[in-house]
Structure 1
């Protein structure tokens, strides 16, 4: 990984630093240009944005915020916005498009989410389905075959994937497959300010995707170790409040109210959560992470980052496809 040491900089150091940043910025700006196929599928169509994340994973919130920015920048406006659980079948009209939030939950690790997605897809065989950029992973061949048997029946299902491994699997589910980067890239650039950045911060998973720390990093000094849930802290109560309001609005069938609640309450709260992560990253010189969106947020902020692969290779396959050429990033394997 290239980096400039603290202290006085020579003209050569300054030139190298500038060249490093220019190359990174070119890569990041280029990644925002890959989603024209999504625009083409939605332009002029009434559509529903489904499966928004209502939890304390800042990575998923970054995806949602990037998706909302993408919609705005391309003149797209969803008719309804909700999570999968509260999506009402009565909202869908002939010709409507169902757009599912992207991320890394297509598979059997987070089975309940995928099961709900399958049921909605099966319920609307005559409506176009768009699955925003996903990583596909099934730990069970049998579970993958069952899911593919259900989803592949849909005649107009468009599956966007974030890496070549997912791309190969995706053709078991549909012949309409698109290889594109994550939607969070539409947040680039994220500006930040503060004092001098010092030390390394480790964003470390505590869920089923948690990997082992590579031997080469075990002696690396870490100033701060945390994860997304700790970054959000006590403000998780805002998430609980949103969930309670969502349940109440759904009980009375207020679809417009649910959409306004998502856009006017949950999206600003998500930006607030993101802001806490941005401040944490801004206070440190280098981000060390096994979370894909720890890496992506670092890139959005033009920060140096060291990435450890997750339990099934999601991080490495993504980086090798989209961000490995950035001089600000380093992928470390065991």
Structure 2
């Protein structure tokens, strides 16, 4: 379903906002099954992001909010490179961060995921909602061969394309929206919003810009990495502290480091994005979490598909019924 341009909200604003809120609250309910799988279990939340993609940081913060809402406390919160395997007991559950890096576009991240799954063949492993994408059939076959022997691997996926692909890895596949939706609603101060904000990818998923978008008057163009800017030094500090704790035999302190240093930093980065969105009347984005953040903030926006259809697949599955969002399909 495509809606017409330009960006505008119909005159029945209260009806629009009520419908949007109904869609957003409904998405949060889809995660209840995850809480049921973790209730009463000792579990480790691993593969948290330690880089400058605000979208992945939103996912992590949404996941932690979800745990809090359901009275769940991870025994461990850690990045994959610094996760202490010796802390895992026979009945523990491993919970992997969701996102869009399951596949061969981000080989180092996916490779670490494969290694973890192989290292714990007898523990339940829950992969939180991901988008699956492999550009190479050979890479897909190798990944399937690595994971498919695990008997208790549960994969949550964000769209039906990924759902079909996930069944090659396991028969325990579930369709669920992104964990960042647990942050809804995200409130912001009134900043006298004006103009259009363009969140434009600068990485390997960057698409072409449709002609209809080029005709819009854009006030600000940026991307997550540019938004974080010089504060990326906080990421470097976190990475150095992780290394030191592991090097000096203090892996148990990594969870405290994540909770009391890294999570506040991630909230700081998220608030930079929230303030930027609040400063603009509307948003145009080719980032999935540009779309999701606009939804979290009840802000009207246009979404351009990424280069392999992730955004349109997600929207058509979960958010297309919101009157605040418009999908502009990519045309080259």
TM range (shorter): over 0.9
Alignment partner of 1:3 is 2:8? yes
| Structure 1 runs, 4 residues or longer, greater than 6 Å off | none
Q: Secondary structure at the match of 1:154?
A: coil
Q: Which residue of 2 aligns with 1:254?
A: 250
CA contact (8 A) 1:3 1:17 kept: no
Alignment partner of 1:76 is 2:72? yes
- In 2: Cα distance, 1:194 partner to 1:26 partner: 23
* Equivalent residues in 2 for 1:214-233, closer than 5 Å: 214-233=210-229
1:263-300: per-residue Cα shift (whole Å, max 9, x none)?
11101110000000000000101110000000000000
Q: Which residue of 2 aligns with 1:175?
A: 171
CA contact (8 A) 2:30 2:176 kept: yes
Return the match for 1:277 from 261, 264, 273: 273
Return the match for 2:181 from 182, 185, 191: 185
Q: Secondary structure at the match of 2:33?
A: helix
* Equivalent residues in 2 for 1:185-224, closer than 5 Å: 185-224=181-220
Using the TM superposition, give the Cα deviation of residue 193 of structure 1 relative to its aligned residue in structure 2, in angstroms: 1.1
C-alpha RMSD of matched pairs (Å):
1.0
1:193-224: per-residue Cα shift (whole Å, max 9, x none)?
13321110100001110000011111111000
Return the match for 2:161 from 160, 165, 173: 165
Q: Secondary structure at the match of 1:192?
A: coil
What TM-score does the superposition give when structure 1 sets the normalisation length? Answer: 0.96
CA contact (8 A) 2:9 2:300 kept: no
Aligned residues: 325
CA contact (8 A) 2:9 2:324 kept: no
- In 2: Cα distance, 1:155 partner to 1:4 partner: 49
Q: Which runs of 5+ in 2 are unaligned?
A: none
What TM-score does the superposition give when structure 2 sets the normalisation length? Answer: 0.96
